[in-house]
Structure 1
Amino acid sequence: MVAKLRQNGYNVLYIAESFPSISDTEVLQITLNESAILLTKDKDFGELIFKLKFTHKGIVLVRLSENMSSFDKAEIILKAFQKHFEEFEEHFSVIDEEFIRIR
């Protein structure tokens, strides 16, 4: 997913590459500092945003089947970003095989 987005002109900071093993709150702080949208598979960010009211620049939760190929996942995510990137800013969004939900 990271490579596909980078190949298509998106500036991607991959937390596991640059900051392995940091906390979710530290991840959110980095995204705020960088004015970046967070792309994640971790549902815990929903709790941080909705229950604990953490500030964010946008979170996109990826809910794609583990059985789906990496290529297919990357294609779905790329198409979602191409179509909805501006809408993802300041919102909590979910990308699923069937839909994209933006709150």
Structure 2
Amino acid sequence: MRFLVDECTGPAVARWLREQQHEVFSVYEEARGMEDEDIIQKAFDENWILITNDKGFGEKVYRERRPHRGVVFLRLDDERAASKI
């Protein structure tokens, strides 16, 4: 599968997904500071499933009805990398 991992989700998640043989674009590693608008557009245009814990993407997907190829929202009490994996 193809995953675009948002910057706030961090590199540990991207690394773990790669270890599981998934194709990954990590905003943290490859495009720090990328705007949310550009992230959601890139994910859609290039067929990535977005993984994020940024509530702003919920706004874009559910309220603004932005097109997407799939979004995984991580809502965790413990935001440490180990909890995300």
TM-score range, shorter chain: 0.7 to 0.9
Instruction: State the match for 2:14 in structure 1.
Output: 2
1:48 to 57, 60, 65: 60
Structure 2 unaligned blocks of 5 or more: 1-12
SS in 2 for 1:39: strand
- Aligned to 1:17, the other structure's residue is in SS state helix
Q: Give the structure 1 partner of residue 44 of structure 2.
A: 32
Aligned length: 73
Aligned residues of 2:53 and 2:74 also touching (Cα < 8 A): yes
Which stretches of structure 1, 4 residues or more, deviate above 6 A after TM superposition? none
CA offset digits 1:57-88 (Å, max 9, x no partner): 11100012226x533431xxxxxxxxxxxxxx
Q: TM-score, normalized by length of structure 2?
A: 0.76
Please give the alpha-carbon distance, in whole angstroms, between the structure 2 residues aligned to 1:64 and 1:45. Answer: 16
For the residue of structure 1 that corresponds to 2:21, the secondary structure is: coil
The 3 A distance-change label for structure 1 pair 8 and 49 is same
For the pair shown, the structure with the greater C-alpha radius of gyration is: 1
Partner residue of 1:71 out of 60, 71, 82: 82
Structure 1 unaligned segments of length 5 or more: list them. 75-103
Q: TM-score, normalised by structure 1?
A: 0.64
